[in-house]
Amino acid sequence: MRSVIIFAGTAEGRTLSEYLSGRGVRVTACVATEYGETLLPEHEYIKVHTGRMDREQMADFIRQEGAGLVVDATHPYAAVVSQNVSKACEDTGTEYLRLIRESGNAESENVIPISSVEEAAAYLAGTKGNILATTGSKELAKYTIIPDYEKRVFARVLSTGEVAAACEKLGFRGKNLICMQGPFSEELNTAMLRQFDCTYLVTKETGRAGGFEEKIRAAKRAGAKVVLVGRPPEQEGYSYEEILELLEERLGGSRYAGNSASEGSDTVRETDPGSRKRVVTLIGIGMGTPAGMTAEAAGAVAASDLLIGAGRMLEAVGNPGRPVYQDYDAQRIADYIRTHPEYVRPAVLLSGDIGFYSGAKKLYEALEQVDCEVRSICGISSVVYLCGKLHLSWEDVCLKSTHGRKANLVGAVRSHEKTFAILSGGDSVGQLCRELQEYGLSHVRLSVGESLGYPEEKITSGLPGELADGEYDRLCAALIENPEYFDGMRACVEDEEFLRGKAPMTKSEIRSLSVAKLRLTRDAVVYDVGAGTGSVSIEMAMQAADGMVYAIERKEEACSLIEKNKRHFGTPNIRVVQGLAPEAMADLPAPTHAFIGGSAGNLKEIMECLLKKNPRIRMVINTVTLETVSEVMDCLRTLPVTEEEIVSVSVARAKGLGAYHLMMGQNPVYIVTCRGGRP
């Protein structure tokens, strides 16, 4: 196959150039400007032609190159150029493929359709309000008919000296001239519209690849109207995916070197099909600014052919002229990479470090279904950054995050000298401060970091009472220092430590043994059925510090007592549920473990409900009466459970009587342990 000429005036054209060169096809990429040349990757099989050509010049160029095929990937609005390319191919008998950019969705009530930029300017001349013009520098002179255009119109154009100078001559300068390379994310478009208080956004229908839908959504979010300049009549052609299929047919399933060094020869070189294995790189970009990225991360971004990530991540790398796919869902990202084989070096951008509460965890799993090699580049995490700013070591910090998840921060702060937490949304700092005060931790010191790594970075330190009413960024981080932390795991809480009322309480020896038999995990979800004073709930909550304990109790007085003990012991991961089991358990999440200390005669119904919610649940049952023992044995025989152990425990405590001590026996307690499922 001869070399391929690509008129690469769009992101798709540049991507096709790299795709073919990676397959061993010699590509001549034609761009109109030197700036366009800088956007193309350097490759031994890519030759760049810079400069505009008319029909005759194009025909001569095609003959000179000896091209076997021409792909027209010029901009949808470059109708004259596209017609010249088509005619030049007719003149030379060269196969011509027109790439048609997929249209975006413009169905919105705030869209004003206009046939041309001239009409758009005429329409806007009769309106009030600022205007964000994104139709390109070549069209900018048409906006000068708008009264006070130098103040009203904010022109977004390419970032070249030539373009900037031409715009300045027209009167666009200072903040009214925005020189950037697109396409742009929805978040950045929204920020610009709001920053310049724009009432109107003028855009051409540039298709999805040109960031059109991001503009439409941004205008809606910012409350701006879209003045949409319609596309010129489009000639017949093929979608990006169809162009790829046609090229694959022309390649015949092999890899080609195209023209060799020998003059005019059509040398074909088949290469190893695995020699161009795709490499997906997961990049931790640090705090969110280019300056905060490692050199390795910056190099990987520069070497990529596709950037993937949430809008904030894409904005952080400065949009270095790469195609982008804006998303944060691991499965959707993996699906996109799998269905777009033209990208051989995609990079997924992740905030901070990829190993610290990062989306990389799910991406590793999702990318197992994609035929690619996965590489990882670490970044600077927020905990490392904030501790460095505070001159503190972080090897002994307890790491937590409430960003999109629940966390027992009170429990972590109570048991660690230093706790780091990623906070999110609304009044998260105020809520944390008030919770620390409520659970007896008013003495701890917080350092709240906002916009870490950015010029507007701010770190505020103080006690919970001093910071509770402050205003903070939507996403921030906090380091909490507790010099009075409890270092260790309490094996047993003494009975005297609990706040007591008339509610019954499981004694410490039985309580400790029963909780031990449950074999709780740190993130367990536990039901305490018939919770009484909440003594068992408290001990279970201490062990399942990252889980949740549901204390189910029918008596109002006992529920009030559990709430008091919950605050007394600093265990916010207890939720008190007033009601009679099993009805009170109906809407609760599935448990991993259950302790049944009281059943009110409903033991079988309670166990059936627990097994329905989790057929593999682990249960411990306490009983003191023979009648209940008989009921337990019946349940073990008839329900789908495996009997693990039945223990009878008799406890006696010494009581002083003059110079002597008498052992005073307590009622024997039967501790039954079982789990769901037959052996």
Chain segment 174-188, per-residue pLDDT in tens: 999 999 877 788 888
For residue 272, the model assigns a pLDDT of 37
CATH, residue 82: 3.40.50.720
Q: How many residues does the chain have?
A: 679
Pairing of strands 418-424, 346-350: unpaired
Average pLDDT over residues 542-550: 91
Which ranges of 478-530 does DSSP label H, i.e. alpha helix? Answer: 508-518
Residues 6 or more apart in contact with residue 332 via CB below 8 angstroms: none
**CATH number of the domain encompassing residue 500:** 3.40.50.150
One domain, residues 171 and 88:
no
Same-domain status, 513 and 643: yes
Residue 462: strand pairing partners: 446
Distance CA 445, CA 467 (A): 10
Residues of the chain with pLDDT > 70, as a percent, come to 90
- In the chain, the percentage of residues whose pLDDT exceeds 90 is 48
For residue 323, what pLDDT band results from cuts at 50, 70 and 90? confident
Question: What mean pLDDT do residues 33-50 have?
Answer: 78
- Identify the pLDDT of residue 300: 86
Closest of 19, 70, 72, 69 to residue 46, by C-alpha: 19
The pLDDT value recorded for residue 505 is 76
Say if 267 falls within a structural domain: no
Per-residue pLDDT at 234: 58
**Which of 439, 455, 481 finishes a domain?**
481
Domain annotation covers residue 260: no
The pLDDT of residue 254 is 39
Amino acid 338: pLDDT: 87
Can you give the pLDDT at residue 343?
A: 84
pLDDT confidence of residue 244: 78
Tell me whether residue 334 is in a domain.
Answer: yes
The lowest-confidence range among 109-118, 619-628, 640-649 is: 109-118
State whether 577 and 629 are in the same domain: yes
Pair (499, 597) in one structural domain: yes
User: Looking at residues 439-445, what average pLDDT do you find?
Assistant: 93
Q: Which amino acid is at 58?
A: M
Nearest to 440 by CA among 498, 485, 499: 485
Tell whether 456 is covered by a domain. Answer: yes
State the CATH number of the domain containing residue 305.
3.40.1010.10
Query: Given 452, 481, 510, which residue is the final one in a domain?
Result: 481
167 with 137: CB under 8 angstroms?
A: yes
Residue 75's pLDDT is what?
78
Residues 653 and 192: their CA atoms lie apart, in Å, by 75
Judge whether 413 lies within some domain.
Answer: yes
Most confident of 42-46, 218-222, 613-617, 649-653: 613-617
Q: Say if residue 581 is in the same domain as residue 671.
A: yes
Please write the tens of the pLDDT for every residue from 576-632.
999 999 999 999 999 999 999 988 889 999 999 999 999 999 999 999 888 889 999
**pLDDT value at 319 more than 70:** no
The DSSP symbol for 262 reads S
Q: Do residues 470 and 437 both lie within one domain? A: yes
Structural domains of the chain, count: 5
Which of 155-164, 243-252, 264-273, 480-489 reaches the highest mean pLDDT?
Answer: 155-164
Are 117 and 192 in a shared domain? Answer: yes
Residue 105 lies in a domain: no
DSSP code for 102 = P
Least confident of 26-30, 269-273, 371-375, 482-486: 269-273
With vertex at residue 438, the alpha carbon angle to CA 437 and CA 440, rounded to the nearest 5 degrees, is 65
Residues 581 and 605 in one domain: yes
Beta-bridge partner residues of 347: 281, 307
User: Are 318 and 405 members of one domain?
Assistant: no
Most confident of 96-105, 185-194, 202-211, 338-347: 185-194
Of the residues 229, 262, 291, the one at which a domain ends: 229
Tens of pLDDT, residue by residue over 250-307, are 766 433 333 333 333 333 333 333 345 689 999 999 987 777 888 888 888 888 888 9
Answer yes or no: are the C-beta atoms of 551 and 575 closer than 8 Å: yes
* CA angle (422, 424, 430) in 5-degree steps: 95
Note whether 400 and 524 are same-domain residues: no
159 and 69 within one domain: no
Per-residue pLDDT, averaged over 658-666, amounts to 83
The verdict on 314 and 448 lying in the same domain is no
**Domain that includes residue 527, residue range:** 495-676
Indicate the pLDDT class of residue 385, thresholds 50, 70 and 90. Answer: very high
Rounded alpha-carbon distances, angstroms, from residue 346 to 37, 323, 324, 358, 438: 21, 10, 9, 18, 48
Sheet holding 69-72, edge to edge: 46-50, 27-31, 4-7, 69-72, 95-98
Residue 677: pLDDT band (50, 70, 90) is confident
Inside any domain, residue 52: yes
Tell me the mean pLDDT in the region 394-401: 91
Q: What Rg do the C-alpha atoms of the chain give, in angstroms?
A: 34
Expressed in angstroms, the distance from the first to the final Cα of the chain is 67
The per-residue DSSP string of 144-211 comes to GGSTTHHHHEEEEE---HHHHHHHHHTT--GGGEEE--S---HHHHHHHHHHTTEEEEEEE--TTTTT
Residue 233: predicted pLDDT: 60
Does a structural domain hold residue 404? yes
